[in-house]
A and B are shown apart, each in its own frame.
Chain A
Amino acid sequence: GEDVEQSLFLSVREGDSSVINCTYTDSSSTYLYWYKQEPGAGLQLLTYIFSNMDMKQDQRLTVLLNKKDKHLSLRIADTQTGDSAIYFCAERGTGRRALTFGSGTRLQVQP
């Protein structure tokens, strides 16, 4: 079946850039998403990218998609302590009605 993998933990200093990586196996993935989960809360959609795009920028967030390698990344510029959270990569393939999620990357931002 479909699989989405992420590294479990990333620590950065405040003001640095963070890059969170994700790989997926479904070659029919149409939409790829990044969700943020703060402690005790549900997931919130941060950004998404269509599979026919290579890059999407939204303020401090940059999403890069390498469809050939099935690799997705999220770059957060000027990382702040408020960015500390768990970040989930998710994908949805053609004809599928639910998203497949990765295990999440815990981002720790040190002052």
Chain B
Amino acid sequence: NAGVTQTPKFRILKIGQSMTLQCAQDMNHNYMYWYRQDPGMGLKLIYYSVGAGITDKGEVPNGYNVSRSTTEDFPLRLELAAPSQTSVYFCASRRGENEKLFFGSGTQLSVL
């Protein structure tokens, strides 16, 4: 099993550019999450999904969009990148509410 796979690992964007951060899991997990981690800060929840076709906003959703067309994939879209979106982005998944949360290795994004 690959677990939770995130791509790319690093990316530099110019202000106003768009990009999609990819996240895929091969564990047949229902729940998937996107967090961002700013330096010296904890993880902040951006969006989450409890199953294919269902997504919900987290604590800091502004400037982002998600979709969950399959159980495996949960891409995060940045439409108009801003410097405030410079962060490390983590995708995570788990099978059910009381199950262990598995994290990807992160995407480091810089917006200049």
A→B interface (CB under 8 Å) = 1, 4, 8, 31, 33, 40-45, 88, 97-104
**B1-46 interface (Cβ within 8 A of A):** 4, 31, 33, 35, 40-43, 45
Contact B48 A101 (CB under 8 A): no
29 A-B residue pairings within 8 Å (CB atoms): A1-B59, A4-B42, A8-B40, A33-B101, A40-B105, A41-B105, A42-B90, A42-B92, A42-B103, A42-B104, A42-B105, A43-B90, A43-B92, A43-B103, A45-B100, A45-B101, A88-B42, A97-B31, A97-B56, A97-B97, A99-B101, A101-B35, A101-B42, A101-B43, A102-B42, A103-B42, A104-B40, A104-B41, A104-B42
Complex: A88 Cα to B4 Cα, angstroms: 19
Q: How far apart are B92's CB and chain A's nearest CB, in angstroms?
A: 8
Q: Which of B33, B40, B42, B103 contacts A98 (CB 8 A)?
A: B33
Known: A42-B103, A43-B90, A45-B101. A97 touches B43 (CB 8 A): no
